[in-house]
Amino acid sequence: MKLDELKSRLSNTINPEIKFDDKYRLASILVVIYGNEPIVVMTEKPKHMTFHAGEISFPGGKLESNDSNLLETALRETSEEIGLEIPKSKVIGQLEPVVTLNSGFMILPFVSIVNEIPKLSANAEVEKIFHIPLEPFLQTQTKDPDPYHNRIQEMYTFEYKNQIVWGASARILKQIQDCLNT
């Protein structure tokens, strides 16, 4: 699948405000897809992090008081975590919010599709940056067999180089997969 087709399938209206239950803290992420053979950018969190230690995730983080909305949060966090400046005009859509199982976040995912990106640089919140071929990655999807993980909603896993992507990140990937399969 080429970038133009991805753009047409993943483009939608952006509304960076969400209604949420007070039991959740708000966060957002940015799904960055680039290249002729589409590549998705993901990160691995350091093992010493308070939340999601060692997990594979998208660049992003919690809403800060100086962020005007969740889109600004996603763009700021992407810049801080991996040194990638994405202008608002390059954000083409958003996905449905997902909640985390253990840390109490409601995450609003935004999508950006660009032709190319510069060399990325990880900050202290990122152990590794992954450039994952999107289509083969999406084909690794399986249902998460752990009943504990499935108590808030149906869970999935994806695999990249023997690393399992699960939880909120996997549910975001499943939404992308569903959009591409329609």
Domain boundaries, the chain: 3-133
- pLDDT, average across residues 43-48: 86
At 99-155, the pLDDT tens digits run 887 788 899 999 999 999 999 999 998 999 999 999 999 999 998 666 655 555 667
User: Residue 99: its pLDDT value, please?
Assistant: 87
CB 63 within 8 A of CB 28: yes
Confidence of residue 46 (pLDDT cuts 50, 70, 90): confident
Residue from 40, 110, 120 nearest 85 by CA: 120
High-pLDDT (> 70) share of the chain, %: 90
The token pair at 123 is: 């900050």
Instruction: Report the predicted TM-score, pTM, of the whole model to 2 decimal places.
Output: 0.92
Secondary structure letter of residue 102 according to DSSP:
S
Report the sign of the C-alpha dihedral through residues 84, 56, 158, 25, in that order.
negative
Residue whose pair of structure tokens reads 């763009």 in the numeric block: 75
Element (H, E) at 135: helix 134-138
For domain 3-133, give the CATH superfamily: Nucleoside Triphosphate Pyrophosphohydrolase (3.90.79.10)
- pLDDT surpasses 70 at 174: yes
- pLDDT, average across residues 96-101: 88
